[in-house]
A and B are shown apart, each in its own frame.
Chain A
């Protein structure tokens, strides 16, 4: 074989293989994107690293005692062969011994994760306050009660029910520092479409600018005002008026308390009301 033929053949093969590599590389870029509704098992590396570390063996799927993990199939919007779960279908039960992580042969699920409460599969967010019945003043609290870190990752905040005027709203509030993104809240939400959803943390968690300082925190830390000395502001109001900071504004009322010191006076209708 002539050297020219050899070199031409070599170049041809190299070009063909190179083109194939380019195609594969570009395809993999597209195929590697993970949709927001698919969550990774506990301990999963950040998505960019996970895609390289995971060898698609499915051992985590097999070792999950609750069968809530799946391996993505070709044609799904998830990187083929990688493990995921859908919170609405079945959330992570947060086993204390984390068998899925132990089963992983590649550290795609980080073996450094030993306390399941440190897992970060996503972050829950009450995504629809219009649909969530807690905001309508109805008692539900299912997400609060099913939360594996009950009372810490989701707490109930009591607010006044302005519709009825005499009841409380039991508002679920997610705390990002405790939520592991297990998805049990989304799974359990009683609505037809969940009003609380678990999404990858980077999609929903806000972040205050580094330069921000909350005055009251700084004040507490410094043990006193940092800018001007505290002075109680006094309004120069007309006689018989007072100013309400709660939003009522200027109120025409005697400066003294509207209620008698004796509660019986109020109950007997003798008070200001």
Chain B
């Protein structure tokens, strides 16, 4: 899924350089999928289960925290591996940034990125507008329903677990749900699923709210307003404060909605963006820099 939809503004940069993060992400996403789908090796699966809960190499349990919480809200009490797995996932995304899950792991991202790419290619402009806050409402609903009904209601329709489980254990009619997500993203609301509705994404955003890993625009003075980054960004509203220094905002993209996909980093010909490590203050500056005041942005160019 290349970005031919955006203007190929710099023929001087090779394709791979303009897609280096994307390639890594696809490698990661498909690699994770492959680990679950590989035939049993040496007497056991490399990774067994699916994203809901898994066991890697018979030693590493990982459990989706949102699923575990839903299960507990129905009144169930998980086993130790479930708790350990959820704790590991929580720590991992709390450190790396919650929505890293969305752009680097989640298989639905392949579907919605494809929809967004096709949308750009076909120049589909028309689209409904819904609030990006709907996902928080849905997250509330997802947590409320188990409490009321005693069942994991969201799991009957959740496209994320549906797709990952389906690819490993058999889709059945789950492809219909994914097709619906695809068409919805393509024709109804741009980035409609991942950027507006998905409660799992909202949950991961909350988990990674204080993560010390950020995308930033340390060289924002160079920006020539080509809008490439806004075009490719799945959550374009997160860029503006950092890039345009709105209300004295620092260069760090501090919105919890940022999926840290790195598309803005690689797509920018002027190399405005980079990776920023450290705690961020409310003003969009890294804390340690705010303290040091003078030092120029100590940002590292991220090449993963």
A: residues with CB less than 8 A from B are 13-14, 17, 20-21, 24-25, 27-29, 31-32, 45, 48-49, 51-59, 61-63, 70-76, 79-81, 103-108, 111
Q: Identify which of B50, B53, B145, B174 contacts A74 (C-beta below 8 A).
A: B174
How far apart sit A173 and B165, CA to CA, in the bound complex (Å)?
A: 41
Is B169 a contact of A73 with CB atoms below 8 Å?
yes
B76 touches A106 (CB 8 A): yes
Given contacts A74-B173, A81-B165, A107-B76, contact A48 B49 (CB under 8 A): no
Residue of A nearest to B162 (CB): A74
| Interface residue B239 (Cβ < 8 Å from any Cβ of A) | no
Interface size class of B (residues with CB under 8 A): 35 or more
User: Per a CB cutoff under 8 Å, which of A52, A59, A70, A71 touches B71?
Assistant: A52
Q: Which residues of B contact A (CB under 8 A)?
A: 45, 48-50, 52-55, 61, 63-64, 67-68, 70-71, 74-79, 81-82, 85, 131, 134, 137-138, 140-141, 144-146, 148-157, 161-162, 165-166, 168-174, 176-177
CB distance from B52 to the nearest CB of A (A): 4
User: When the two chains form their complex, are residues A73 and B52 in contact, meaning their CB atoms are under 8 A apart?
Assistant: no
CB B118 to nearest CB in A, in angstroms, measures 25
Q: A105 to chain B: closest CB distance in Å?
A: 3
Measured CB to CB, the closest approach of chain B to A247, in angstroms, equals 54
Contact B166 A107 (CB under 8 A): no
Q: How far is the CB of B36 from chain A (nearest CB, A)?
A: 9
Given known contacts A24-B153, A71-B170, A107-B79, A55 and B68 CB-to-CB distance under 8 angstroms: yes
Contact partner, B148, options A25, A62, A76, A106, Cβ 8 Å:
A25
Task: Give 21 pairs: A residue, B residue, CB < 8 Å, sorted on A.
Answer: A17-B138, A20-B138, A24-B145, A49-B150, A52-B71, A52-B151, A53-B74, A55-B82, A56-B50, A56-B152, A56-B165, A57-B49, A58-B168, A62-B55, A70-B169, A71-B169, A73-B169, A74-B172, A81-B165, A106-B78, A106-B82
